[in-house]
Amino acid sequence: MANLMFTRRHALIGTGALLGTAMLPLPARALSETQARSLVDKLIGEINAVIASGKSEAGMIRDFERIFQRYADTAAIAAYALGVDGRRASRSQKSAFSKAFNAYVARKYGKRFRQFIGGRLEVQRVKPVRNFVEVSTTAFLRGQAPFEVAFHVSDRTGKDLFFNMFIEGVNMLLTERTEVGAMLDRRRGDIDAMIEDLKRSG
């Protein structure tokens, strides 16, 4: 499957950057900028450690999946990706989708972060945006110009977690909703078939 997030020809998705964010059910912002930065400092510290570990791709992907589960609002991200089709999905389908989607995201973005070997992420700035906090980092890679990786952080679950990520301006939420929607279209709306496709994707 074409990797929509990391090809520049799909950068137009990023022009709707705040659209996906605005549609999430977030409470009034109580999270401080310091708390958000602390979360992302820990997150990128673990990402950088995996990058430098020398593990195989499979080993790194397993580590990235654990990191994603620890630091991301996986329930909100999966629900947004499924979109309105979640209304007709059964409880068991939602559970199966969430499990398959989380593993898919870890594989997909884990492969991307694996490309950072020899590089690093550094926090650059933190700013409040309506009801969440945006933490912007810079990726420094060997042989490439630095680029931005930004995280949107909220405490809507009672824990500080990121619920969206941008790499070079491309919105993870909107990209994954597009991906899942395309899978459903190919399967003529069959949620079970889409879940099986998702297990093989990324």
pLDDT value for 56: 87
Instruction: For domain 29-199, give the CATH number.
Output: 3.10.450.710
Predicted model pTM: 0.81
Angle 130-136-141 (CA atoms, 0-180°, nearest 5)? 160
User: Cβ distance 170 to 5 under 8 Å?
Assistant: yes
Q: What are the extents of the domains in the chain?
A: 29-199
Each residue's pLDDT tens digit, 98-154: 999 988 998 888 888 877 778 889 999 999 998 899 999 999 988 889 999 999 999
Distance of CA 4 to the CA centre of its chain: 13
Tokens of 165: 């990520």
